Structures are given as C-alpha cells and as structure tokens.
Chains A and B, each alone.
Chain A
Amino acid sequence: MYNEYMDVLEVTNLTKQFNNFTAVDHINFSLKSGEILGFLGPNGAGKTTTIQMLLGILTPTFGNIVYFGKNLQNFKKEIMEDVNFSSTYIELPLILTVEENFNFIAYLYNIPNRKQRIKKIVELFKLEELLKKQMSALSAGQKTRVSLAKSFINFPKILLLDEPTASLDPETAKYIREFLLEEQKNFQVSIILTSHNMSEVEEVCDRAIFINNGKIIANDTPENLIKTINICHVTLLIKEDAKKLISFCTKEKISCMQDGKYYTITIKENELVSFLSILHKKNISFVEISIEKPTLEDYFLQNVGSMQKKTMEEIL
C-alpha cells in the first residue's frame, strides 16, 4: 500500500530493446515526493526512450514502472490523472486556439471548475494575450509556455518535462525555473526534467541522473557530482602575445577558449601550480587572472564528452 513517505516513482530494471539495439539497459531509479530530478545525457543516450516509457506511450521490453505504489502497466488510467508532461518537441494542435487546446485537455482530465482552472493557468503563465490565438500564430517560446501551462492543468503530482526552457528567452526561462521551484515548495510536485542547460539543472534539481548508452552512469546531487571532478577554469587577460599561449595549448591539446582578450584554460585542479609555472617559463604574461570552480557541465563533459587527458607532469 502506498503512503506519503514512499517514493512517488520507482523504476526497476527498466529496459528497452529495438531489435538488437538496447536503448535503455536495466536502469533503476526513484523519485521522492517534492523532488526535482534532472535526467541528463547526450543525444541518443536513452533519455527520451525512458521518458516515453514513463508516460506509457512506449512499452518496456523488461522492467517495472511503479507510480504511487501502482504498476503503470495495470493502472495507467488512474496514474495519469496525477501525472502530466510537457515537451518543447511535442506540439499541441496548431489549428486550435490556445483556449480550445486548454479546454479539450481540461475535459480529458475532468477538471472541476474548468473555466476557473484555465483562467488561473493563463494568469500564472501570463498567456492572457495569447488565449484567442491559434497555436500556429505563436512563436517557439510562446508555444513552449503554452505547453508548460498545459502540463499544470490537472494539478499534477508528478511532472515530466522534456527541455522545459528550451527556446525561451532568458527572462521567461528564469520565471519558469522560479515557478517550478515555487510549485515544488507549495504543492510538493515531483518533477523529472531533461535539459541540456547544466546551470539550470544545478539551479533547480535536487538530484541528477546521468545516462549514457542506455545506462545510468551517475545518480547524485549536483553538488556531489561536481565534487567528483578535479578540474578548474583559469581565465587570463592577455593583452599582448597571446599567440604563445594558443600555440602551447594547441600543441599540448589543452582546452583553451577565447573571448576577446580573455582566454579560459581548463586544467586539473592539482596541476594549477605547474600550469602557472609553465606560463612563467615560457614568458607568457597576463595582466589579470581568475580561477573558477568546476560546474555540472564540466562533469558532463568529463564523463560523457571528451576532455583533455594529458597531465601537466607529462607536458613538463
């Protein structure tokens, strides 16, 4: 029997195979009540396949999905009353107006005081001016806002959000992030969100799961995940003779990003002293230096992407 102290979602051994290709490979995770979980990974890692299985629109080859103590396979109808979904990549019918879309979806969930609920959602997402417009007349960002608003229409206990702030301007994206945190705080809404914006995940997620090649490679708080990597970003302001730095970094295959006269070099934390000593030896002078701690993006790049491997000792 489900009680409020249990996980609202439990995924066990979830697997999806398409012919000989395993898109999702025996993954296990859970979601607590009121938790925001980031579901991250590179393109083709298995994120969307997992989300589709969690929504019941893709049948798993193997494994269990249990919401509120009930198996999705047997209780989809009951479960979906309390779950909703929004994706930047799935559109509402373009020919319908925003209001018509909200209306028919409200009927699907049998929302009590339908008109009032739609009015409230419209206010929350600042959609008053768009209500009578056809979806086809909206910009990508406006469509995303409407899709997000739709996902709140049934007072969901669990929300699955696929890149909720993609295509939004920074101000609206910030508002949406704050709104999600508010909903989490006030109504204990649990959220799984996929995003390629790692700073967003750091900001809103209590926990992050990294998936690659269909397998979970990390499952922890963003802070703990960041702690596992030992790189730092050294930003130097070089007014003259930056060529020496660039040629050094190119030769040694060290990541070096240029932004005007600022050069950001990514190195291991414990090699910072050696790196500065090399700069001194090579007469590479700078007028300003700042050192930044690693971020979740660094974790992503180091564990999923490709990073420079050569140590400073090897270079020296």
Chain B
Amino acid sequence: MKWHRVYAIVLRHVYSLRHNFDRIADVFYWPAIDIFVWGLMSSYLNSGPWKSTNILVLIVSSLIFWIIAWRLPYETAITLLDDLWARNLVNIFVTPLQFSEWLSATTIVSGIKAFASFLWAVLLALLFFRVNVMTNGLYVALFIFLLYLTGWTIGFLITALIMRFGLKVQAFAWTLGAIIMPFSAIYYPVNILPTWAQQIALFVPSSYVFENIRQLQKFGTVSLNQLLFCFLMNSFYIIIAVVLLHKSYIRVLKKGLTTLQA
C-alpha cells in the first residue's frame, strides 16, 4: 500500500467536490432538511398534549447518528459512480494503483464526507434546538465508530453490486442504504417491531447502537456486551463486504473495466 496513490484518489474527489454543487449539496442539504423537519416535529411533540421531557433530544440525536449510517453507503457508492460517470475508471486503473489503495481512498473520501454531514447536523441541532449530542464524548465516539462500520459495510455491498452489474443498478446508491432503516430501530425501541422484524433486527448492528443511544439518554449507561457483539457482527459483515467487492472487481476485469462505463 502506497499512501501517495491513496492520496491521489482522495485529491481527485476533493477537486471534484470543489467544482460540483450537487456533491456539496449532498453533504449538507439533506441532513439540514432532516434536522429541521424532525426537529420541528419533535418541538411540537414536546409541547401541549404531547409534552414529554426528552422526545426532542431522543428524535434529534437519533437522527444525527442515523446520518452516519445513511450517508456512508451513498458516499461510498458515489465515489465509484463519479468515476464511472466521468469515464475515468480506466485512467486510474492503468496506473500502478491497486484495488486495496482505491478501496482505502474510497473509504477515506466517504468517511470524510459523512463526517462533514454529521458535524453539520450536530451544529444545526445545537443552534436551532439546543440539542447537544456530544456531551457523552467517549460513548459518542464509540457509537460513531460502530455506525461507520455498518455504513461502510452497506456502501461496499452497493459498490460491489454496481461493479458487478454496472450503471444499470446505480439507483442502489440512493435506495439500498435505507433497507436497514426500519430494523435499526432509530426512533423507537426494537420491541415495538413485529416479532419477525425483531428477529431481523438481531442481525442488524445499527439496532444495538440506537438501543444504546436511548439507554444512555434515559439511564446514563450503555450495555458494553451489546456493543461488543455489535462490533463483532460489524467486523464479520465488513469482511464479507470487502471480499464480495474484491470478487466483483476480479469479475469485472474478466469482462473488461470499460464495460462498466457503458
């Protein structure tokens, strides 16, 4: 692994971001819309007959953390799509660049963009709704780390599918990340879900994160056993995702990298 090549690919996407309003809007626009819609709704629920002491904090903080798991798959897939749309994939893979270096660059670019969205949402929540999710520093870092693993896993799976089937499945970049949303129990506890969905949620790592976010807000504690299990499950999934992505890459080389751009 040569970091100058990883840096080169990161630089290519930073340049792209500089000229592309769409990509900047992606990072800041949708998180802002979500924060305002959900924040205002929570403010309404916090008043009058719906009054509850922590519903605003509960919903807004869950949403802020969800932004990581939601943005990462998209940002990961869009890194590949940007090069497919620009017909640039051949240019970069005829250099000494290795698959692992490209993957590292993709991971860094998506990670930075998702973190920018997260920080932006944190700032908006603080400014407009006086909700501060950063008060429990270490736990926050742990939640972020676990959600990053989940987000990258889904991102790599979507990227593997795009590499396998080409631009005809590019819509997965926008849609597939949301598939775990109902089972992640972002705004409600897992036991609210129907029994069959609870069984699925057991295998969705982000559900453990959101259960623990709520537990931290309510009781000031987290279940480290659950979070360790979440980490192991995440690690297992991310290894599978990387293997599948690499297999897709090897497979596309058999058909020709240029076929992806068609």
- Write the residues of chain A forming the contact surface with B, with a CB cutoff of 8 angstroms: 18, 49, 52, 55-59, 76-78, 80-81, 83-85, 87, 90-97, 100, 103-110, 134, 150
Answer whether residue B135 sits at the interface, using C-beta atoms and an 8 A cutoff: no
15 A-B pairs with C-beta separation under 8 A: A52-B257, A58-B255, A80-B96, A90-B87, A90-B258, A91-B88, A93-B16, A93-B82, A94-B86, A100-B12, A104-B15, A105-B91, A107-B8, A108-B96, A110-B2
Asked whether, in the complex, the Cβ of B94 is within 8 Å of the Cβ of A80, the reply is yes
Answer whether residue B195 sits at the interface, using C-beta atoms and an 8 A cutoff: no
Considering the complex, give the chain A residue whose CB is closest to the CB of B250.
A59
Asked whether, in the complex, the Cβ of B96 is within 8 Å of the Cβ of A77, the reply is yes
Select one of A78, A81, A96 contacting B19, CB under 8 A.
A96
Q: Which of B87, B94, B255 has the most CB of A within 10 A?
A: B94
Chain A nearest CB from B188 CB (Å) reads 41
State the 9 A-B residue pairs at the shortest beta-carbon distance, nearest first: A107-B8, A93-B86, A57-B257, A58-B256, A108-B8, A104-B12, A100-B15, A108-B95, A80-B96
Asked whether, in the complex, the Cβ of A92 is within 8 Å of the Cβ of B88, the reply is yes
Asked whether, in the complex, the Cβ of A104 is within 8 Å of the Cβ of B96, the reply is no
Answer whether residue B134 sits at the interface, using C-beta atoms and an 8 A cutoff: no
Q: Which residues of A contact B8 (CB under 8 A)?
A: 104-108
New A-B pairs, 13, CB < 8 Å, besides A58-B254, A95-B19, A107-B5: A49-B256, A52-B258, A55-B90, A90-B87, A90-B91, A93-B15, A93-B82, A93-B88, A96-B15, A104-B8, A106-B8, A107-B4, A134-B19
Provide the bound-state CA to CA distance between A87 and B90, in Å.
10
Asked whether, in the complex, the Cβ of A91 is within 8 Å of the Cβ of B96, the reply is no
Provide the bound-state CA to CA distance between A96 and B18, in Å.
9
Chain B nearest CB from A143 CB (Å) reads 12
Q: Which residues of B contact A90 (CB under 8 A)?
A: 87, 90-91, 258
Answer whether residue B253 sits at the interface, using C-beta atoms and an 8 A cutoff: yes
Q: Which residues of B contact A134 (CB under 8 A)?
A: 19
Interface size class of B (residues with CB under 8 A): 20 to 34
Provide the bound-state CA to CA distance between A81 and B95, in Å.
7
Asked whether, in the complex, the Cβ of A78 is within 8 Å of the Cβ of B256, the reply is no
Considering the complex, give the chain A residue whose CB is closest to the CB of B82.
A93
Considering the complex, give the chain B residue whose CB is closest to the CB of A94.
B86
Q: With A55-B94, A108-B5 given, is the CB distance from A93 to B12 under 8 Å?
A: yes
Answer whether residue B7 sits at the interface, using C-beta atoms and an 8 A cutoff: yes
Q: Which residues of A contact B82 (CB under 8 A)?
A: 93
Asked whether, in the complex, the Cβ of B88 is within 8 Å of the Cβ of A108, the reply is no
Chain A nearest CB from B8 CB (Å) reads 3
Answer whether residue B98 sits at the interface, using C-beta atoms and an 8 A cutoff: yes
Answer whether residue B93 sits at the interface, using C-beta atoms and an 8 A cutoff: yes
Select one of A49, A92, A97 contacting B91, CB under 8 A.
A92
Chain B nearest CB from A194 CB (Å) reads 15
- SS class, residues of chain A in contact with chain B: mixed
Q: Which residues of A contact B9 (CB under 8 A)?
A: 104, 108
Q: Which residues of B contact A78 (CB under 8 A)?
A: 96
Q: Which residues of B contact A77 (CB under 8 A)?
A: 96, 98
Answer whether residue B243 sits at the interface, using C-beta atoms and an 8 A cutoff: no
Q: Which residues of A contact B93 (CB under 8 A)?
A: 56-57
Q: Which residues of A contact B2 (CB under 8 A)?
A: 110
Q: Which residues of B, 115-157, contact A by the 8 Å Cβ criterion?
A: none
Q: Which residues of A contact B256 (CB under 8 A)?
A: 49, 52, 57-58
Q: Which residues of B contact A84 (CB under 8 A)?
A: 94
Answer whether residue B20 sits at the interface, using C-beta atoms and an 8 A cutoff: yes
Considering the complex, give the chain A residue whose CB is closest to the CB of B251.
A59
Q: With A57-B257, A59-B254, A80-B95 given, is the CB distance from A91 to B86 under 8 Å?
A: yes
Q: Which of A59, A76, A93 has the most CB of B within 10 A?
A: A93
Q: Which residues of B, 225-262, contact A by the 8 Å Cβ criterion?
A: 250, 253-258
Q: Per-position contact with A for B144-182: 1 when CB-CB < 8 Å, else 0?
A: 000000000000000000000000000000000000000
Provide the bound-state CA to CA distance between A239 and B38, in Å.
87
Asked whether, in the complex, the Cβ of A109 is within 8 Å of the Cβ of B91, the reply is no
Q: Per-position contact with A for B1-36: 1 when CB-CB < 8 Å, else 0?
A: 010110111011001100110000000000000000
Chain B nearest CB from A300 CB (Å) reads 25
Answer whether residue B92 sits at the interface, using C-beta atoms and an 8 A cutoff: yes
Q: Which residues of B contact A109 (CB under 8 A)?
A: 95-96
Provide the bound-state CA to CA distance between A80 and B2, in Å.
14
Considering the complex, give the chain B residue whose CB is closest to the CB of A147.
B91
Select one of A49, A55, A96, A108 contacting B97, CB under 8 A.
A108
Considering the complex, give the chain A residue whose CB is closest to the CB of B254.
A59
